[in-house]
Chains A and B, each alone.
Chain A
């Protein structure tokens, strides 16, 4: 009935692009320090954890600064995108009521915008990597694959929580709690390879563990990521995304009634 294909795809692309632009520009225009904040927050976490686990309670992890920073910025993408997506529909009810506005663009633009924030921290990451004397090399070509897998996973979670929150507002309280737990069950400031096998097997159910380890393998050791679990994450995320976007599309027919 309402199909206006080709153009609607291009419009979708433009919608995401302006929403991401609005998000990024507004963040950096309304503050004095601008872009600095994208870097400052992970830097502060880096300092805190570094002090805690290098000086006060030393963990035996080589290149700890790089190890930490990768964990922090990768997790920030996941945390930022999902915690913003959960309220993205409720907070944009006026857009949802706009004829022709594609609701599916909202979680997608949030996920993309937080990827951009991650990219902004890359120069700092490079500096840290250079100082810690790690080797970067050929394995870098695997990085886009890891990022794509993570993008798909983050997007799938975003669609799920965004869709759910319209009907069940409890989601916006549950998600931050789950994210907080995730901070400790994901090897951000510790190293999961040191853990007992049993614990590792349980924590390994968390896709973010494999994603962060893949980032570290590539960026810190110039080695190929562990393809086994990574392909599971990729395949699983694809299925998850397919299901969660279907759920989101179905839920979106009733968004306005619930808002």
Chain B
């Protein structure tokens, strides 16, 4: 089969930047005068090959900084590989950043013309498609208003409408399918499927594994610039997710002190050293369905205090699965004088596979104020068993008895 896009063992290396300072003459002079032979370079992408046939959609997954965007830039020809080569049978189009050339003071119609041309169309071609684009973006009479009066949703719709009217033969998509409301997203996905049917070769970067599984014919998992796995989307996504979970376990073991919007309270008593552990006391990020788990943490008060504590578990959509506290469970917490270690052990967690978040809180004894609350701050993964729609996955037995 003739391929639309071929990348042959491409590699790209970047200079290590010592600081965020933009390059200056001084740096240039210094590097010229005292030529630094050991200039450090790192490979953002190494030895990656990719062939995309017309009508094929390839998904690229990987953590941030794994080289996905670099790969897309090389495929798009806006960056040159240091090794290997990229060949394309037709002009490559991108659905990368929307609204790049838009000017807020100009009307929607004027911006369609500008952005259409910047996306690769000729002016005459944009004019032909103008009414289709406006209809797709669902902007009607707003189209004559300056774009600055648009809501962010309207702007995105307009940007997307332009970008999907270029009728590409080769299309690169970077994470933009997550924009807009669901109905519009569906419209965009339908449009992209139509491109695919019409023989467009597509490379899609996404963090949405569901999209990768559903729309892609193949997937590539990049890690640190290398191809970690390649093949059918289901297999690659599974391998990627398993690895991501064990990485999360390593993160959990570090038990960094928490800061940010997930933490609130007066800090008269602080929670620290929160650990999720398995039965043996080892820090975990993943447990098998039905296994035991212990949440352990330390309280450190500013002065001796009587407290209440709470622990809860929520699922990925922040639906509360479990919530108990020292009052509901009638636990007498000794006065916290200098420090106090606390733990709650679950004999088994019969939850459906997925990501869960643990919240831990320490409160005034009459619940009038929070001393320290860590909201959905500690995540763990339940693995094994079938993916269920509900939260609970208790051990169960089915029986069919003929009458």
Spell out A's residues near B (CB within 8 Å). 1-2, 4, 7, 10-11, 14-15, 17-19, 21-22, 25-26, 29-30, 94-101, 167-170, 253-254, 256-258
Q: Which of B14, B78, B87, B103 contacts A97 (CB under 8 A)? A: B78
How far apart are A249's CB and chain B's nearest CB, in angstroms?
12
* CB <8 Å contact, B101 and A22: yes
Bound state CA distance, A58 and B103, in angstroms?
Answer: 46
Q: Which of A10, A11, A94, A168 contacts B28 (CB under 8 A)? A: A168
* CB <8 Å contact, A98 and B80: no
* CB <8 Å contact, B117 and A11: yes
How far apart are B323's CB and chain A's nearest CB, in angstroms?
45
* CB <8 Å contact, B118 and A101: yes
* CB <8 Å contact, A14 and B117: yes
* CB <8 Å contact, A14 and B97: no
* CB <8 Å contact, B24 and A168: yes
| 5 A-B pairs (CB sep. < 8 Å) | A1-B88, A7-B122, A26-B105, A100-B77, A253-B79
* CB <8 Å contact, A14 and B123: yes
A2 cross-chain contacts in B, Cβ below 8 A: 77, 88, 91
B90 cross-chain contacts in A, Cβ below 8 A: 4
* CB <8 Å contact, A18 and B114: yes
Spell out B's residues near A (CB within 8 Å). 14-15, 22-26, 28, 73, 76-80, 85-88, 90-94, 96-97, 100-101, 103, 105-106, 110, 113-114, 117-123, 146, 172
Bound state CA distance, A95 and B78, in angstroms?
Answer: 10
* CB <8 Å contact, A98 and B119: yes
* CB <8 Å contact, A99 and B172: yes
B24 cross-chain contacts in A, Cβ below 8 A: 168-170
* CB <8 Å contact, B123 and A99: no
* CB <8 Å contact, A256 and B117: no
19 more A-B residue pairs beyond the given contacts A99-B78, A169-B22, A256-B73, with a C-beta to C-beta distance below 8 A:
A10-B122, A11-B122, A15-B118, A18-B117, A21-B110, A25-B106, A29-B105, A97-B73, A97-B76, A97-B78, A97-B96, A98-B96, A99-B77, A100-B91, A100-B93, A100-B94, A167-B28, A170-B26, A257-B14
How far apart are B167's CB and chain A's nearest CB, in angstroms?
13
A99 cross-chain contacts in B, Cβ below 8 A: 76-78, 91-94, 96, 120, 172
* CB <8 Å contact, A98 and B118: yes
* CB <8 Å contact, A95 and B118: yes
| Top-10 shortest CB links A-B | A99-B76, A94-B100, A169-B22, A30-B105, A99-B94, A100-B120, A14-B123, A99-B92, A18-B117, A18-B114
A10 cross-chain contacts in B, Cβ below 8 A: 122
Q: Name the residue in A25, A99, A168 with the highest tally of chain B Cβ atoms < 10 Å from its Cβ.
A: A99
How far apart are B159's CB and chain A's nearest CB, in angstroms?
11
B146 cross-chain contacts in A, Cβ below 8 A: 29
How far apart are A19's CB and chain B's nearest CB, in angstroms?
8
Bound state CA distance, A18 and B87, in angstroms?
Answer: 29
B93 cross-chain contacts in A, Cβ below 8 A: 99-100
Closest chain A residue, CB of each to CB of B97? A94
Bound state CA distance, A253 and B77, in angstroms?
Answer: 9
* CB <8 Å contact, B23 and A11: no
Closest chain A residue, CB of each to CB of B99? A94
How far apart are B21's CB and chain A's nearest CB, in angstroms?
9
Bound state CA distance, A11 and B122, in angstroms?
Answer: 5
A97 cross-chain contacts in B, Cβ below 8 A: 73, 76, 78, 96-97, 100
Q: Which of B76, B113, B172 contacts A18 (CB under 8 A)? A: B113
Given contacts A18-B118, A29-B105, A94-B97, contact A167 B79 (CB under 8 A): no
How far apart are B171's CB and chain A's nearest CB, in angstroms?
9
Bound state CA distance, A81 and B15, in angstroms?
Answer: 32
How far apart are A168's CB and chain B's nearest CB, in angstroms?
5
Q: Which of B25, B87, B113, B119 contacts A170 (CB under 8 A)? A: B25
* CB <8 Å contact, B114 and A257: no
A26 cross-chain contacts in B, Cβ below 8 A: 103, 105-106
B80 cross-chain contacts in A, Cβ below 8 A: 253-254
Bound state CA distance, A63 and B87, in angstroms?
Answer: 62
B73 cross-chain contacts in A, Cβ below 8 A: 97, 256
How far apart are A91's CB and chain B's nearest CB, in angstroms?
12
* CB <8 Å contact, A29 and B106: yes
* CB <8 Å contact, B78 and A98: yes
A168 cross-chain contacts in B, Cβ below 8 A: 23-25, 28
Bound state CA distance, A256 and B15, in angstroms?
Answer: 13
Q: Which of A1, A98, A258 contacts B23 (CB under 8 A)? A: A258
A19 cross-chain contacts in B, Cβ below 8 A: 101, 114
B105 cross-chain contacts in A, Cβ below 8 A: 25-26, 29-30
How far apart are A251's CB and chain B's nearest CB, in angstroms?
12
How far apart are A10's CB and chain B's nearest CB, in angstroms?
6
A1 cross-chain contacts in B, Cβ below 8 A: 85-88
* CB <8 Å contact, A95 and B114: no
* CB <8 Å contact, B122 and A21: no
Bound state CA distance, A201 and B357, in angstroms?
Answer: 78
How far apart are B360's CB and chain A's nearest CB, in angstroms?
42
Closest chain B residue, CB of each to CB of A8? B91
Bound state CA distance, A22 and B119, in angstroms?
Answer: 15
Bound state CA distance, A21 and B118, in angstroms?
Answer: 13
Closest chain B residue, CB of each to CB of A15? B117
Closest chain B residue, CB of each to CB of A257? B14
How far apart are A152's CB and chain B's nearest CB, in angstroms?
25
A254 cross-chain contacts in B, Cβ below 8 A: 80
Q: Which of A4, A25, A30, A256 contacts B79 (CB under 8 A)? A: A256
Bound state CA distance, A22 and B23, in angstroms?
Answer: 30
A101 cross-chain contacts in B, Cβ below 8 A: 78, 118, 120
Given contacts A98-B78, A100-B91, A253-B80, contact A17 B97 (CB under 8 A): no
Bound state CA distance, A10 and B78, in angstroms?
Answer: 20
Bound state CA distance, A258 and B23, in angstroms?
Answer: 8
B14 cross-chain contacts in A, Cβ below 8 A: 257
Bound state CA distance, A11 and B78, in angstroms?
Answer: 17
Bound state CA distance, A22 and B76, in angstroms?
Answer: 25
Closest chain A residue, CB of each to CB of B98? A94
Bound state CA distance, A168 and B29, in angstroms?
Answer: 11
